[in-house]
Amino acid sequence: MRGRAKPPAAPLPQRDGIDPVRVRLPEDPGGAWPTVRDHLLDRFAAAVGARRVDAMLAEGLFVGADGGPVDGDEPYTVGRFLWFHRDFAPEEPVPFPVGVVHRDAHLVIADKPHFLATTPRGRHITQTVVARLRRELDLPELQPAHRLDRLTAGLVLCVVRAGDRGAYQTLFRDRLVRKEYEAVAPYDPRLTLPRTVRSRILKERGVIAAREEPGPANSESRVELLEHRGALGRYRLLPATGRTHQLRVHMNALGLPLVNDPVYPVVEPEPEHEDYARPLQLLAKVLEFTDPVTGEPHRFESGQRLSAWPDR
């Protein structure tokens, strides 16, 4: 059985570091879409409004494989590809730069600030590591090999060429990357550390907080106390697995919720504007692995420090 043909390359360039949307016209049940416009209205009018769809057609913002504008009155053709750039809602600029601790022909190791999402998703599109570095480094194929929570700062491994992404993603899937985090949280002299925490974590779509539940463990973290000052401690966290919010969940379960965590132990109302003076005190400090493309051993370290633990 032959697979579906590879779609042609996008005829539109990226905009603000974001690829155009590709649409493949599907089978037309019962001749519901005599024209291209009929299908586009059926597909997108509920999201953006019929007036906006018609305006985009009039302005030539839907294009075909040759890059030419699509006339909405053209007959509907099953399997045809169209491209367009979606409208971006205004985003609050994250007022911190994305650091780069390493760059070569295959990799960019980004040093992500707090509050900046890794990949375009939801209401964070252009204010992301991917979009920013594509623009700033002129690397249109740049993609992350893994994700880092928006509120967490630190190292993100990005690939320069899309064809290499699978090799680096496999490192994370097979747990061949040593990840080391730092955190600031309450200090409890009654708690015996270091210790390894194992539990079953469940994260439901649309629910902000993950939760622990009975059952076989699917997450594992080692927690070490590096030092303490008064009521606060500085911790080294070594995750063996990569569940969503894993370190935050495990620290909270120990009675050590991270400083400035808006989700654990209690989900706080989402603010209208970010409070950049209160970043989550969690930093992806170290990435260590053997490069699957070059065979070279790598160890990278973030240049950032957690604000709740200043140098003295």
Q: What 3 state SS string does the chain have?
A: CCCCCCCCCCCCCCECCECCEEEECCCCHHHCCCEHHHHHHHHHHHHHCHHHHHHHHHCCCCECCCCCECCCCCECCCCCEEEECCCCCCCCCCCCCCEEEEECCCEEEEEECCCCECCCECCECCCEHHHHHHHHHCCCCCEECCCCCCCCEEEEEEECCHHHHHHHHHHHHCCCCEEEEEEEEECCCCCCCCEEEEEEEECCCCCCCCEEECCCCCEEEEEEEEEEECCEEEEEEEECCCCCCHHHHHHHHCCCCCCCCCCCCCCCCCCCCCCCCCCCCEEEEEEEEECCCCCCEEEEECCCCCCCCCCC
Residues 85 and 20: beta-carbon distance below 8 Å: yes
Can you give the pTM of this predicted structure?
A: 0.90
The count of other CB atoms within 10 Å of the CB of residue 112 is 29
- CATH tag for 99-301 (out of 3.30.2350.10, 3.40.630.30, 1.10.8.60, 1.10.150.530): 3.30.2350.10
pLDDT at residue number 31? 87
Q: What is the largest CA-CA distance in the chain?
A: 74
pLDDT at residue number 178? 97
pLDDT at residue number 29? 81
Identify which of 276, 312, 283, 239 has the alpha carbon closest to the alpha carbon of residue 99: 283
* Model confidence pLDDT, tens digit, residues 81-113: 999 999 988 999 999 999 999 999 999 999 999
pLDDT at residue number 312? 63
pLDDT at residue number 1? 43
Identify which of 210, 254, 207, 204 has the alpha carbon closest to the alpha carbon of residue 233: 254
pLDDT at residue number 5? 63
Q: Looking at the chain, which residues constitute the CATH 3.30.2350.10 domain(s)?
A: 99-301
Do the bridges between strand 282-290 and strand 153-159 make them parallel or antiparallel, or are there none, so unpaired?
parallel
The pLDDT profile of the chain, 312 residues, written as one tens digit per residue, is: 455 667 889 999 999 999 999 999 999 888 899 999 999 999 999 999 999 999 999 999 999 999 999 999 999 999 999 999 999 889 999 999 999 999 999 999 999 999 999 999 888 999 999 999 999 999 999 999 999 999 999 999 999 999 999 999 999 999 999 999 999 999 999 999 999 999 999 999 989 999 999 999 999 999 999 999 999 999 999 999 999 999 999 999 999 999 999 999 999 998 888 999 999 999 999 999 999 999 999 999 999 999 999 986
